[in-house]
Structure 1
Amino acid sequence: MTPDSIRITDLGAPELTERQRQAIASAPCIEMREEAVLAAACQSTGLSDFGADDFRERLRIWLKSFDEDAGLGPLGRAGMFGDAVRYAASRLRFEDLVKRYPQINDIEIQRPIIVAGLPRSGTTHLVNILAADPRLRSMPLWEAMEPIPVPQEQMPGGEDPRITRTRQAWGEFETLLPYMPAMHEMSPTHVHEDIELQGLDFSTYLPEWQSRPSRWRDYYYRHDQTPHYRYGRRVLQALTWLQGPNRWVMKSPPHMENLRPLMATYPDATLVITHRDPVAVLQSAITMIAYGDRIRRHTVDLKELANYWTDRVEHLLRACVRDRDSVPADQSLDVRFDDYMADQQSVIERIYTMAGLPLTADTNARIQAYLNANPRGKHGRVVYDLKGDFGVDIAALRERFGFYYERFSLRPERIEGERP
């Protein structure tokens, strides 16, 4: 253990702080009703046109899934309901904007650079490096939370109120969960996942990070995601119209299981897929989720959580292996996590070459400035124990994921509790 090591010893039996207990106690009583979500969105925006109604079925399944998740506590339920209202309100503002400015539909999205990869596999770090290039448009957290500005708030000069609100909300979140930045830093200006835009169409895997929505997960698996990728692209056109340029850099883990919908929506994209030992990914992801669950759930069942996300990660991996060769070779690049961490500059150069974008001295300087300001582990390093905390049989897990190690020639990382 080093001085900056963080070992969370109460994942399964959380010892709540007074602030955490107060936050849970003050959470409102929530009824997961479609009408309540849409009424709240209409009231907050003063708008009523949601566009095509097909999203309502998906919203109802979301809400039913949250109701069926008996482990969700009052703060967890309030959070899931609040996310649904936020997406519905953003949808209202988006549909209203396009109705007033139909030329948005003619905006071109040119040759985006899209990063896919397992959660905790370096996608966030890589996309933030690429976003340091001002020639590329990216979506920071504050814009992902509220993609369409409120018209009456648009005033010249000063900070965008959406940034202020996101900074306040994220600050409160980190106050409740102070170890979260060490696992996944997300300041208001850091680049966030583009599948937030699919949230406006109520079809992403995002609810799975804060609940166990089995009904929704199964529905999601059964349905082609292409229409929802296309809805997200329409929102991207609006964001480009509001502020260019029109060449984007984006990232999201579920692109791994949606390579065909992704490339059908962005056929000229440069796709970068990061690959990391899925056992290392799993221990990082479920430790982070379990830590957040102390305020979201009545109890934290670590075995249930490990089983859910082992299945979830396997689905991502099998879909990626199945469809990887459907992406044109001259538009795609596989990047192993250990290779990337050993020589980031080489990987970045390969991405720029494939994307047909000159890597200028100014861009290199901006990238280096980002790296200098964001060294790995700057908020401390979390010590993981997949076997000790979650009771996972690591050898069995490696055998289960063997098809993925073989397909991408991955080297296993050292895992605590694993026999040499």
Structure 2
Amino acid sequence: MTENTIRIDDLGAPQLTPIQRQAIAAAPPVHMQEESVLAAARQATGLSDFGAGDFRERLCIWLLSFDEDRGLGPLGRAGLFNDAVRYASNRLLLEDLLKCNPDIAEVVIDRPIIIAGLPRSGTTNLVNILAADQRLRSMPLWEAMQPIPAPGQAAAGAGEDPRFTTTKAVWSAFESLLPLMPAMHEMAPDHVHEDIELQALDFSTYLPEWLSRPYRWREYYYAHDQTPHYAYGKKVLQALTWQRGPSRWVMKSPPHMENLVPLQTTYPDATYVITHRDPLAVLQSAMTMIAYGDRLRRTHIDLKELADYWIARIERLLLACVRDRERLPEAQTIDVLFHEYMADQSSTVEKIYAMAGLELDSGAARSMQRYLRANPRGKHGKVRYDLAGDFGIDVAALRERFAFYYSRFPVEKEAL
């Protein structure tokens, strides 16, 4: 094994470090109750108007799903509760801003470039490359964590935004607890984050699925059209644009793959970029990352349950993509194969810019190259995965299960 290769060999029976044990022991007990979440959000913001009340049903299902997940430990429960409070607080701040500034509703989101693709399929790399072009607006992690400044906080651009300072401290603590996480998925405060956070303010997102096994929520999410929640997310985008331009966005999120129609309904003039990768390579990376984080969140790690959950989840994403891909306008849509993208990133970027009607000028090209030089693949080490050994997966049978996707998109089957 080379010096920068990482092998995590305790996924199912983690050997916790002293700092991890301390963090778990320090987690406060929480009550997964709607009013507990909303009261905490009111106290945090000093506000009380959450806007339309339909979100409460979804919040209640989130919380019930967390209670039903018996494998969650104290730190996992506290983290999910705190996320719900953060989303509710962000919603209060947004609704207050919209009420005080009704002109935000008139802000135009101009021909955004929107990346859809499986997690671990190159979307993070691609969106950060495109976001290096300062003519495009993007949402860094610090802004995704709290899109609207609280009363008294400095607005973005006035020195170091307090939200950036807070996110930097939170993520530094997170990485001290899970030091191998950046090798799988770096979450630097100033790197672009997923716009999935926009729908989270309306409590309709698959984010809880990364942190728990919320079966009840998953089935509720499947059963409901996400168009209203994409519309709510667009209000957040308008508020962000009103705070700080420009108005042409680049953004990305994996759940767009199962919501291509709501996406196109909400942003009809967008350029849609869909990345495609061997789903088995995606699964071994995503499941290893989730299992590694679960050592903090769960009292017992059932790798088979994790595999069953995420194989079905990725299958659902891909079935929906195959079903709805042709409903997107061809003149606005480009499919990006992972192996071709990694072999020639510049060519992919040029094709996206051509489709978006945007000139790839020398300034943008230099900014993109600076990002690439500062963030080479494997910057934090390369994790060696073992889909069959770690998760007991029959690789041949799983490839057959995803035959519908391989036959539709010519992704390269990767060595596992």
Shorter chain as denominator, the TM-score bin is over 0.9
Whole-Å Cα distance in 1 between the matches of residues 229 and 159 of structure 2?
Answer: 34
Quote the offset at 1:57 in angstroms.
Answer: 0.1
Letter in 1 for 2:384: V
Match of 1:58 in 2: 58
CA distance in 2, matches of 1:290, 1:276: 21
The residue number in structure 1 matching 2:5 is 5
2:116, 2:253 within 8 Å by CA — same for their partners in 1? yes
Structure 1 CA distance, aligned partners of 2:215 and 2:85? 21
Name 1:190's counterpart in structure 2: 191
Offset of 1:158 from its aligned partner?
A: 2.7
**Which residue is 1:397 aligned to?**
398
Question: What whole-Å deviation, never above 9, does each CA across 1:298-328 have from its counterpart, x for those lacking one?
Answer: 0111111001000000000000000000000
Aligned-partner residue type, residue 371 of structure 1: L
Shift of 1:151: 2.5
Match of 1:375 in 2: 376
| Structure 2 residue aligned with 1:81 | 81
Counterparts of 2:63 and 2:312, CA distance in 1: 22
Q: Secondary structure at the match of 2:183?
A: helix
Separation of aligned partners in 1, 2:273 and 2:290: 26
SS of equivalent residue, structure 2 residue 124: helix
| Shift of residue 248, structure 1, vs aligned partner | 0.2
Q: How does 1:324-335 map to 2 (within 5 A)?
A: 324-335=325-336
Shift of 1:226: 0.1
Report whether the alignment pairs 1:69 with 2:64. no
Counterparts of 2:167 and 2:152, CA distance in 1 = 18
Indicate yes or no: 2:45 matched with 1:36. no
Map 1:262-277 to 2 at 5 A.
262-277=263-278
The percent of aligned pairs where both chains have the same amino acid is 71
Q: Could you tell me which residue of structure 2 aligns to residue 418 of structure 1?
A: none
Distance in 2 (alpha carbons) for counterparts of 1:246 and 1:185: 27
Q: Which residue in the other structure is 2:122 paired with?
A: 122
The equivalent of 1:306 in structure 2 is: 307
3-state SS in 2 of match to 1:289 = helix
**Counterpart AA for 2:360:** L
C-alpha distance in structure 1 between counterparts of 2:334 and 2:266, whole Å:
18
- The SS at the match of 1:115 is strand
Letter matched to residue 95 of structure 1: E
Residue in structure 1 matched with residue 339 of structure 2 by the alignment: 338
- Which amino acid is 1:295 matched to? L
Q: Distance in 1 between matches of 2:214 and 2:182?
A: 25
Q: Which segments of 5 or more consecutive residues in structure 2 lack a partner in the other structure?
A: none
- C-alpha distance in structure 2 between counterparts of 1:363 and 1:246, whole Å: 17
Work out the CA distance in 2 between the residues paired with 1:406 and 1:151: 53
Looking at structure 2, the residues matched to 153 and 267 of structure 1 have their Cα atoms a distance apart, in angstroms, of 34
* Partner Cα separation in structure 1 for residue 379 and residue 240 of structure 2: 32
Aligned length: 415
Give the deviation of 1:352 after TM superposition.
Answer: 0.1
| 1:114-153 Cα shifts (integer Å, max 9, x gaps) | 0000000000000000000001000000000000001312
The two structures have a TM-score, normalised by structure 1, of 0.98
Task: Report if aligned partners of 2:121, 2:277 keep a CA contact under 8 Å in 1.
Answer: yes
In structure 2, give the amino acid aligned to 1:200: L
| AA in 2 matched with 1:218 | E
**Partner AA of 1:340 in structure 2:** Y
Aligned-partner residue type, residue 334 of structure 1: D
Give distance in 2, aligned partners of 1:359 and 1:211. Answer: 41
Conservation of the 8 A alpha-carbon contact between 2:339 and 2:411 = no
1:16-415 equivalences in 2 (<5 Å): 16-154=16-154, 157-415=158-416
Distance (whole Å) between structure 2 residues aligned to residue 339 and residue 408 of structure 1: 13
Query: 1:57 is matched by which residue type in structure 2?
Result: E
- Which residue identity does 1:117 align to in structure 2? G
How many angstroms apart in 1 are the aligned matches of 2:101 and 2:331? Answer: 36
SS state at 1:272 partner: strand
TM-score, structure 2 normalization: 0.99
Structure 1 SS opposite 2:75: helix
Q: Give the whole-Å Cα distance in 1 for the aligned partners of 2:369 and 2:159.
A: 28
Give the letter aligned to residue 231 of structure 1: Y
The one-character-per-residue Cα deviations of 1:55-99 (angstroms, maximum 9, x if unpaired) are: 000000000000000000000000000000000000000000000
Q: Distance in 1 between matches of 2:93 and 2:151?
A: 9
**Alpha-carbon distance between aligned partners in 2 of 1:215 and 1:150, rounded to the nearest angstrom:** 33
1:157, distance to aligned residue in structure 2 (A): 3.9
Deviation digits for residues 155-198 of structure 1 (CA, Å, limit 9, x no counterpart): 77431110000000000000000000000001000000001011
Q: Distance in 2 between matches of 1:387 and 1:33?
A: 39
Q: Residue type matched to 1:26 in 2? A: A
Cα displacement string for residues 247-299 of structure 1 (whole angstroms, at most 9, x for unaligned residues): 00000000000000000000000000000000000000000000000000001
Bigger Cα displacement from structure 2, 260-269 vs 406-415: 406-415
Contact 2:258 2:316 survives alignment (8 Å): yes
Runs of 4+ in 1 over 4 A off after TM superposition: none
Equivalent-residue separation in structure 2 for 1:286 and 1:395 (angstroms): 18
Separation in structure 2 between the aligned mates of residue 118 and residue 12 of structure 1, nearest angstrom: 24
Distance 2:125 2:197 in 1: 18
Question: Deviation at 1:410?
Answer: 1.6
The 2-side partners of 1:279 and 1:71 are apart by 26
Q: Which amino acid aligns with 1:204?
A: T
Deviations along 1:368-409, one digit per CA (max 9) or x if unpaired, are 000000000010000000110110010010000010011011
Distance 1:101 1:410 in 2: 47
Residues of 2 paired with 1:21 and 1:380: CA distance?
A: 25
CA RMSD of aligned residues (A): 0.7
- What SS class does the counterpart of residue 39 from structure 2 fall into? helix
Unaligned runs of 5+ in 1: 416-420
